[in-house]
Structure 1
């Protein structure tokens, strides 16, 4: 008599245990992302790629207009990062683009994927936090300056997450509300505001001064010409010889005759 289970037939409980263990193994083998894993998502390799991306940019005077968090209004560094972090996606998808399959394209793609992992894990922003225009304003920067903003966000986020991966649980609703009340012009007021950067401002001032000098010189020249035209008729009258009548000429001859 063969003992139960020794003839090659496994008991039902063993089969059920195997089937239950298989999903657990699959889930365990998949990469998991969550707030507790945020402190090591940003690696030194990512920061090096970002620095190389900045160094490879051509120096140019061209500026790109884009929206980003206003650090002047958000003094709290945590709230500033929570506001700026979602805007990085727009930079990677709409503003900074490179030729397909180039080294810069591959680097920007890897950094974009890093952003998506941080977002999906809820490392900086939470699902219930809405994205709005509060504390956001329009910037006009070069590509290098834009990438440096992204670099600052990643570096500061990495530092804070390594100190405490729960640090971004802070509620910034009150800080964002202050931005709305203190800076309505920066929100959707419908009136565009010109933004000037350092050298651009002084170039504009110099241009305005040159225009004013040119207009002043032209007005002075026209006034001088007008005055000259008014003086010419009087000078002509003074230069003409005196025309004497025949009667006056006869009187002169009589005076000259001796008595």
Structure 2
């Protein structure tokens, strides 16, 4: 009986281990933060931004610009709303000589933002289902140092979103953008919105313009591609789930057959042992009768 129990335990553990491995594979396929997005902002990028901050004059003249105020927005929706304004701010107030360190810092920062959009790490605001978050925009008048500090905070929040999650970020902000907050600005033109703000006129160099063109081509028809990707992902996940179910069902049948076979063999062994004992008892009895006669 001990052999039967050990066999049962071993087979059951083996089946569950294999099913668990398949379930882990299924979890990986279901989704993780894409590699290009998870590592799109690094500590080196933040150091470059800090270099741009350090190179600003302590007593610089104030600049006027528009930037998002977080208010009650979640981290996700604030980053999504503020990201397009980074390019506008850099274009309007951070122009330097091509041979300077500041020019290199600004160019690197522009390319970083464009790459994040081109890899669809942050989707553009879809005004068909989301309101333009212009109500959260605020007019600021501050030093360039403080303005770049706001950009750095947005990138730090984005970096946290990419590293603290084990699954893709849900960028749906329809409810948060639709909430009826008091207007903070008088009349901010639609051109300050995320969709129209990310255009080639925000770029200084030829390489920036090429990147902007690639970005526009990549985002055109993005909604259609997203639906296709969602359909393909759902199909793959459904197929994997079916395979896992069939695999576990097959393993369960094999386990039951193995246990039944073990039980039959155990019963046969016990029956054989019982017969041997009866035969020995009969022989002993017969011998006793012979001896007595």
Deviation, 1:124, is: 2.1
Residue 117 to residue 182, structure 1, CA distance change in 2 (3 Å): same
Distance 1:168 1:95, change over 3 A: farther
Contact kept? 2:65, 2:139, Cα under 8 Å: yes
Match of 1:157 in 2: 158
Q: How many residues align?
A: 154
Contact 2:66/2:140 (8 A) holds in 1: yes
Q: Which has the larger radius of gyration?
A: 1
**Structure 2: tracts of 5 or more residues without a match:** 1-32, 190-293
Q: For structure 1, which runs of at least 5 residues remain unmatched after alignment?
A: 1-33, 191-259
Q: CA deviation at 1:51?
A: 0.7
**Equivalent residue number for residue 63 of structure 1:** 62
1:87 aligns with 2:88: no
Q: Aligned partners of 2:126, 2:169: CA distance in 1, in Å?
A: 13
Runs of 4+, deviation exceeding 3 Å: 126-132, 165-168
1:176 aligns with: 177
Q: What does the per-residue CA deviation read over 1:199-253, in whole Å, with 9 as the maximum and x for residues that have no partner?
A: xxxxxxxxxxxxxxxxxxxxxxxxxxxxxxxxxxxxxxxxxxxxxxxxxxxxxxx
Q: Aligned equivalents of 1:189 and 1:83: distance in 2?
A: 14
Normalising by structure 2, what TM-score? 0.48
Distance in 2 (CA, whole Å) between partners of 1:189 and 1:55 is 31
Superimposed CA distance per residue, residues 142-199 of structure 1 (whole angstroms, 9 cap, x where no aligned partner): 1000000011111111121112275542311221122xx3222425289xxxxxxxxx
Cα RMSD (Å): 2.4
Distance in 1 of aligned mates of 2:134 and 2:186: 6
Judge conservation of contact 2:53–2:149 (CA < 8 Å) in 1: yes
Rounded to whole Å, the distance in 2 between the matches of 1:175 and 1:167 is 19
Between the aligned partners of 1:69 and 1:78, the Cα distance in structure 2 is 13
| Matched residue SS, 1:184 | coil
Match of 2:115 among 114, 117, 120: 117
Preserved contact between residue 36 and residue 165 of structure 1 (Cα < 8 Å): no
Question: Which residue number corresponds to residue 101 of structure 1?
Answer: 99
What is the TM-score normalised by the length of structure 1?
A: 0.54
Cα distance in 1 for residues equivalent to 2:55 and 2:139: 25
CA contact (8 A) 1:70 1:136 kept: yes
Q: Report if aligned partners of 1:82, 1:168 keep a CA contact under 8 Å in 2.
A: no
1:36-55 alignment runs, 5 A limit: 36-55=35-54
Q: Which has the higher contact order (CA 8 A, sep 6+)?
A: 2
